[in-house]
């Protein structure tokens, strides 16, 4: 099938490359010329494991091409996927203007019958508006079927998620479009669920909101564990053994970040509010998450009294490992709060430093060498569970830091291992290890 993907961001590019890999003829369009030029040379503008080799391969074998030209992209396509950004507006609502801009361009460009399929996360009802736009704008003799096909790709494992996902959701009211979409996805051997359009749109929001709820739930339990002397790792493990609960998204920490959970939870609260149904549960999930972002700086303040002039090693800038994405990363809140307290920060990340520098600028120092970050530090804060941090030899802390005090926001180390070292180790929902007596006047 001839496929076009509108948008070469995380979702669009993975979709384009993976459909090409699956044997389809794919054109990927983006309005940014520099991005397209980079992609044509086989380079991806962000970090996504496994994506670049597939990009190079499919460019070479002619299955995949890139363009900024709508005519080239849309006129001959059988299926057009819309995968442009749907950023958050100031009030938490979703900015769907890029979606509608793409729809107008498609309506003005298509020359044959086509399925237009929305991959981007859009508020319930958006695809109905898309249908109306096509009704008004498309050439009369051309038939356009609108399908909602939300994506469930995680950054850092998006290629694997594309080929080995749990389900594919296809929302359409047209049996012929459903059958074409089925043919497209059948070779992947992933269960396909057919729904109406609005339910497909809602499945995406409800899924992300539920996953975020699990995280805030376990984080609240971890805060209570802290107070009653229980260990969240054991509690979470014991809960996850119940198949009805499951083990995923029960990793306690300093909260969720990224370009999806924070945005989608707020959007669903807005959506519910718009139909006069306050979504109080989800509002609490968001509140708990915000509180969690500030947890470690509060704990550090409690320990030191004042953080003014203290040297902090911030380990991890990306919102999670295996990505260079710092959108809504917890590290950003930690940096802001530590700077307000007058701390001096050196931040370590293996790949997210350039992105962080663009946003934070020169108010902190950056390094891609953990030891460099720890050198002479009064305390360390772990914000991302990178393997490089998890596998760091534990004597490094005492060897490099002025005082080996570690606030671990991702429970990277076992307490048993930590107990063998001269360290003060504060983690999430677990007893503190205080093998070094700390003196606040340091
Ligand atoms: C999320 C969903 O997992 C995908 O299914 C969805 O397609 C995607 O959003 C999207 O809407 O596009 P993503 O944001 O890439 O994917 O990352 P996740 O792996 O879900 O992690 C999100 C955040 O939750 C991270 O900050 C992570 O550190 C945090 N998290 C995750 C926890 O704090 N605890 C956990 O147990 C799991």
Indicate which CATH number applies to the domain containing 212. Answer: 1.10.1040.10
Averaged pLDDT score across all residues of the chain: 96
**73 and 95 in a common domain:** yes
Nearest protein Cα to ligand 1, atom 34 = 251
| Domain that includes residue 80, residue range | 2-195
Two tokens, residue 102: 């793409």
Distance CA 341, CA 19 (A): 49
Q: What is the mean pLDDT of residues 358-363?
A: 96
How far is C-alpha 90 from the geometric centre of its chain's CA atoms? 19
> Which residue is listed with tokens 């700086």?
297
In the predicted structure, residue 440 carries a pLDDT above the cut 80: no
Mean pLDDT, residues 113-117: 98
217 lies in the same domain as 356: no
Residue from 120, 153, 268 to probe ligand 1 pocket by mutation (most atoms less than 8 Å from CB): 153
Please determine, for residue 439, whether its predicted confidence score (pLDDT) is greater than 70.
Answer: no
Question: Does the beta carbon of 100 lie inside 6 Å of ligand 1?
Answer: no
pLDDT of residue 92: 82
Q: Are residues 299 and 276 in the same domain?
A: no
At 299, which CATH number? Answer: 3.40.50.720
Report the C-alpha gap between 73 and 69 in whole angstroms: 6
Please work out whether the CB of residue 251 comes within 6 Å of at least one atom of ligand 1.
yes
- 147 and 118 Cβ atoms separated by less than 8 Å: yes
Looking at the structure, tell me whether residues 27 and 176 fall in a common domain.
Answer: yes
Going by alpha carbons, the residue nearest to atom 25 of ligand 1 is 256
Mean pLDDT for 301-321 is 97
Per DSSP, the three-state class of 434 is strand
User: Of 195, 218, 234, which marks where a domain is finished?
Assistant: 195
How far apart, in Å, do the first and last CA atoms of the chain sit? 67
> Residue 221: is its pLDDT beyond 90?
yes
Domain-terminating residue out of 150, 168, 195:
195
Same domain, yes or no, for 349 and 426?
yes
In sequence order, the β-bridge partners of residue 87 are none
Q: Is the CB of 12 under 6 A from ligand 1?
A: no
For residue 439, being part of any structural domain is answered with no
Which pLDDT score, from 0 to 100, does residue 435 have? 85
pLDDT of residue 386: 98
Q: Which residue has the tokens 């990277």?
A: 412
155 ligand 1 Cβ < 6 A:
yes
Whether 226 and 363 share a structural domain? no
Kindly report, residue by residue over 242-294, the tens digit of the pLDDT: 999 999 999 999 999 999 999 999 999 999 999 999 999 999 999 999 999 99
Residue 390 parent element (H or E): helix 387-390
Does one domain contain both 68 and 156?
Answer: yes
Please give the DSSP secondary-structure letter assigned to residue 289.
H
How many A from CA of 173 to the centre of ligand 1? 30
Residue 159 has pLDDT above 50, yes or no: yes
* pLDDT average, residue stretch 31-36: 97
Angle between helices 330-340 and 280-293 (to 10 degrees): 50
Task: Walk across the sheet containing 64-67 and list its strands.
Answer: 64-67, 25-29, 2-6, 79-82, 114-118, 144-148, 168-171, 192-195
* DSSP code for 94: B
Q: What is the pLDDT of residues 369-404, one digit of tens each?
A: 999 999 999 999 999 999 999 999 999 999 999 999
Number of neighbouring beta carbons within 10 Å of residue 258 = 21
When pLDDT is averaged across residues 74-81 and rounded to a whole number, the result is 96
Q: Is residue 315 very low, low, confident or very high in pLDDT (cuts 50, 70, 90)?
A: very high
Calpha distance 336→320 (Å, rounded): 18
Residue 247 lies in a domain: yes
pLDDT tier, 173 (very low <50, low <70, confident <90, very high otherwise) = very high
Structure tokens at 201: 């749109």
Residues 284 and 298 in one domain: no
Report phi then psi at 424, rounded to 5. Answer: -105, 120
Ligand 1 center from residue 320 Cα (angstroms): 8
Q: How many domains does the chain have?
A: 3
Question: At residue 183, does pLDDT exceed 90?
Answer: yes
Tell me the average pLDDT across 75-84.
97
Q: Do residues 147 and 115 touch, judged by C-beta distance below 8 A?
A: yes
With the most atoms of ligand 1 within 8 angstroms of its CB, the residue from 87, 247, 320, 411 to mutate is 320
Q: Which atom of ligand 1 is nearest to the CA of 257?
A: 26
Where does the pLDDT of residue 442 fall: very low under 50, low under 70, confident under 90, or very high at 90 and above? very low
C-alpha 439 to ligand 1 mean position (Å) = 38
Give catalytic residues, as residue numbers: 260
pLDDT at 292: 98
What is the model's pLDDT at position 317? 98
- Whose alpha carbon is nearest atom 27 of ligand 1? 256
- The pLDDT, as a whole number, for residue 436 is 77
Determine, yes or no, domain membership for 176.
yes
Query: How far is the centre of ligand 1, averaged over its atoms, from the C-alpha of 409 (Å)?
Result: 16
Beta bridge partners of 348: 315, 367
Q: Are residues 164 and 226 in the same domain?
A: no
Domain contains 440: no
Residue that finishes a domain, picked among 291, 326, 353: 291
In a shared domain, residues 373 and 401: yes
- What are the C-alpha distances in Å from 353 to residues 288, 331, 408? 28, 12, 20
Look at residue 91 in the predicted model and tell me its pLDDT.
Answer: 87
Cβ atoms of 53 and 21 closer than 8 Å: no
Task: Give me 392's structure tokens.
Answer: 């760091």
Report whether 310 contacts 343 (CB < 8 A): yes
The reply to whether 170 and 259 lie within a common domain is no
- Measured from the CA of 204, which atom of ligand 1 is nearest? 11
């Amino acid at each position: 099938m001839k496929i076009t993907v509108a948008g070469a961001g995380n979702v669009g590019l993975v979709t384009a490359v993976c459909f090409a890999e699956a044997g389809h003829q794919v054109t990927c369009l983006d309005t940014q010329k520099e991005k397209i030029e980079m992609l044509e040379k086989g380079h991806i503008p962000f970090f996504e494991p496994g994506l670049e080799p597939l990009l190079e391969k499919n460019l070479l074998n002619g299955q995949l091409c890139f363009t900024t030209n709508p005519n080239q992209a849309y006129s001959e396509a059988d299926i057009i996927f819309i995968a442009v950004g749907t950023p958050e507006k100031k009030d938490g609502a979703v900015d769907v203007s890029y979606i509608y801009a793409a729809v107008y361009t498609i309506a003005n460009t298509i020359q044959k019958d086509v399925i237009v399929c929305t991959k981007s996360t859009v508020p319930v009802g958006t695809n109905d508006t898309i249908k109306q736009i096509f009704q008004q704008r498309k050439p009369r003799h051309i038939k356009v079927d609108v399908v909602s096909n939300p994506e469930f790709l995680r950054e850092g494992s998006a290629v694997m998620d594309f080929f080995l996902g749990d389900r594919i959701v296809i929302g359409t009211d047209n049996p012929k479009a459903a059958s074409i979409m089925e043919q497209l996805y059948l070779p992947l051997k992933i269960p396909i669920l057919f729904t109406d359009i609005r339910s497909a749109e809602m499945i995406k929001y409800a899924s992300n909101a539920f996953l975020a709820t699990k995280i805030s739930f376990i984080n609240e339990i971890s805060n209570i564990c802290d107070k009653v002397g229980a260990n969240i790792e054991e509690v979470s493990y014991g809960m996850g053994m119940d198949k009805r609960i499951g083990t995923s998204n029960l990793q306690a920490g300093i909260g969720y970040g990224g370009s999806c959970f924070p945005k989608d939870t707020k959007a669903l609260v807005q959506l519910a509010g718009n139909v006069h149904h306050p979504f109080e549960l989800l509002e609490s999930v968001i509140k708990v998450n915000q509180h969690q972002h500030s947890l470690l700086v509060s704990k550090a303040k409690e320990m030191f009294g004042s953080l003014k002039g203290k040297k902090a090693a911030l380990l991890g800038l990306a919102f999670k490992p295996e990505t260079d994405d710092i959108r809504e990363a917890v590290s950003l809140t930690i940096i802001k709060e530590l700077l307000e307290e007058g701390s001096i920060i050196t931040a370590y990340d293996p790949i997210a430093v350039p992105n962080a520098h663009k946003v934070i600028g020169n108010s902190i120092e950056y390094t891609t060498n953990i030891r460099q970050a720890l050198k002479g530090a009064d305390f360390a804060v772990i914000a991302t569970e990178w393997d490089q941090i998890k596998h760091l030899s534990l004597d490094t802390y005492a060897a490099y830091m002025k005082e080996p005090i570690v606030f671990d926001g991702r429970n990277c180390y076992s307490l048993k291992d930590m107990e063998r070292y001269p360290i003060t180790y504060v983690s999430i929902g677990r007893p503190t290890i205080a093998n070094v007596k700390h003196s606040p006047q340091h």
